[in-house]
Each structure stands twice: as structure tokens, then as C-alpha cells.
Amino acid sequence: MSADAPQAPDGAPSPASASPRASEPAAAPTPAPAPIAVGALYVNVFVVATCGLIYELLAGTLGSYLIGDSVTQFSLVIGLYLSAMGAGAWLSRRLVKGLARRFLEIELAVAVVGGLSAPVLFLAFGSTTSFQIVLLAFVLAIGTLVGLEIPLIMRILEGTVTFKDLVSRVLTFDYVGALAAAVMFPLVFVPQLGLVRTSLLMGVFNAGVALWGSWLLGDRLGTAKLGVRVRAVLVMIGMIVALGFADRFTTWAEDSMYSDPVVYSETTPYQRVLVTRGRAGFNLFLNGNLQFASADEYRYHEALVHPAMMAADAPPRRVLILGGGDGLAARDILLLHDASAAKDASGEPVVLDVLPRLIDAVRAGGLRFVTLREAAGA
């Protein structure tokens, strides 16, 4: 080697040996994920909040319907659900990798646990003495899962939207979804679908969110994309099939809940009406609570009717009854006190329509259902 040739420092390649490497092409950078459709994810937040609150309302309603003491049941359900959401939010910090996949998997878990909550609780009431524990376990599980979701969505959207806009918009859609649930549950879902169908339908919605999310967040799912879609479709199919058997399931579950055979049941805009028939006669249940047994109802109705009718200065000819939806007070007024007409402003025409067809003792000529407004104008 010539003494005039340049020497490379110890451990460094000579210029001659380094030049071939410098000419090699650099590795292609990893493509950045496609931008997230932020508005579509806000819709997901709305659906998640709506379904979550409806599961909470279903649990409180079932507790009141099956156990009674609605104040205690709703207090326990609401308190535990909110606490569980807080626990879920706290646990979300432990989820570090694969946030999009974790969010969709949690959504599918909510679909399964929440969607099956009402059917399983109906079954549990007739088969276990620890129904209250089973009920609160469902509330705890659903609340924890729902509590995980909102923090995960916010972390997925982090950097896409400014922090102040992210928090305000996510929470706005969350609270508006809760309002929608609070309005639709008593006015639409329960009167039109009943408790079991409502539960299953919310499961379909949650699974639909997971399926839709697999497209919205597809670039962040990697190889898990297909698995999420397959599971979401399977859950949706299962819930839809269960919806088709909801009436049959409800009838079977109610038969196991009551000692006597169920001869009539219907969910009205006001309540669940159910009549059983046994050796002692008929029993009327409203929202699971016994209203009367035909074997001994006369003790209550005679004590209710006779003192009021006898206290009148002259025998009443026309009588307005408020809240006597079973028609038994009207029976005693019409048949025992010779009144010519009785109007019942109970708010539940189904009871007045059904009972006379089922129970001979309720038949009373001249009884007519009216609304409170009609009664006031009479």
C-alpha cells in the first residue's frame, strides 16, 4: 500500500469499502395508517352509550319485576353500574398495544353479555335462589366493559383531534346516547318489543358496531381484521335467531316462574299482564306482582266498595272508579248496589278487555273503560 493513500480511523471502513454500501437503496418507510373517519366513530360512541344505558335499565326493570322493591333494585343497579364503569375506565390504562383490536373485542363482549342478560336472568330467577347475586354480577360485568370503551376510543382518536375537542365531542355523544336510551326504553322498546327482545336487539346493535368498526379501523387491526369480522357476524346471526324465538322463550320462562299454568300474557304500553289458573281459581299478575286471587279477592273489594257506597246520601246511580283496572270493584258496585253505570279510568284497557273473557266473576254489565280526560268531561 502506498504511503500517500489515506488511512481510515481504527474501526471505520475505508472510503473505498464504504462506497458500495452508500449506493444501496434505503428501506421503504412503513406506510402510515389511513386517517380515521372521526365522525363515524362519534356515531359508534352514541350507539355504545345508548346500548349501555338500556342494559342498565333492563337490569333495574327485571329486578323490580322479579324481586319487587323497585327503589332498592334501581338504586343497587345504578350505583353498581356507575362504579363498574369507573373501574373499567381505570383498567383501560393497562391496555397499551392493539387498542383498535381491543376496543372491537370489548364491543363484542358487551354484545354477548348484554344481549343475553335478560334471557339468562329470566332463567336464573326460576332456577336459583341467588338471583340477586346473578343480577348484580351481570350489572358489574356490563358496566366494566362499557367503562373500558370510551377511554379506548379517546386514545384511538388521540392526535387526530385536538384534546379539548376530543373530550367535549366524545362526552357529548355519550350523554346524548344516554338520553336517547332513557326516552326510547319506556316509550318504544319495552311496549313494542318487551324485555327479552330489547336485550337481544341491543346485542345486535353492539355487534354491528364491532363489524362496522372493523372497516373504520381496518388499517390498525392488521391480521386480526378477518377474525373480528367473522366473530361479529356470528354474534349478530345468533342474536337475530334468538329474536325469532323470543316469544317462545318468554312463555317457557314464565311457565317455570309461576306455580300455576299461565293462561294469558301480554306486554302492554303500561305493564306486563299475566293471568294464571290453578285449583283455587285465577290469579292476576302485573309486572310480576300479584294483584288479586279470585279465591279471596272479595275480602278486599267488598271492604273497598261497601263503606263508600253506603256513606252516600242517596244510592249513587253513576260511579267513576279510578285505578280499578281489574273490574272487580265495578262488579260489586253494579251487582250489589244496583248502580246503572260504572266508568273505570284505570289507564289499562287490556285488563278490562281480557279478564271478563277469562273470569266469570268479573263479568258485569254496564262496565265501560274510559280515559281520565273522558271521565272529567262526563
pLDDT, tens digit, 9 for 90 and up, residues 110-136: 999 999 999 999 888 877 788 899 999
Taking the C-alpha atoms of residue 14 and residue 22, their distance in angstroms, rounded to an integer, is 12
Please state which of the ranges 163-177, 210-224, 245-259 shows the lowest mean pLDDT.
245-259
pTM above 0.85, yes or no: no
* pLDDT for residue 165: 86
* pLDDT for residue 180: 95
C-alpha cell at 263: 293462561
Mean per-residue pLDDT, 273-297: 77
Please state which of the ranges 86-100, 179-193, 301-315, 333-347 shows the lowest mean pLDDT.
333-347
Q: What percent of the chain has pLDDT over 90?
A: 33
Domains contained in the chain, CATH given: 38-254 (1.20.1250), 262-377 (3.40.50.150)
User: What pLDDT digit, counting tens, does each position of 295-305 carry?
Assistant: 777 777 778 78
Phi-psi region of 371 (alpha: psi -120 to 50; beta: other; left: phi over 0): beta
User: What pLDDT digit, counting tens, does each position of 327-357 carry?
Assistant: 677 767 766 666 655 555 555 555 656 655 5
Residue 364 has pLDDT above 80, yes or no: no
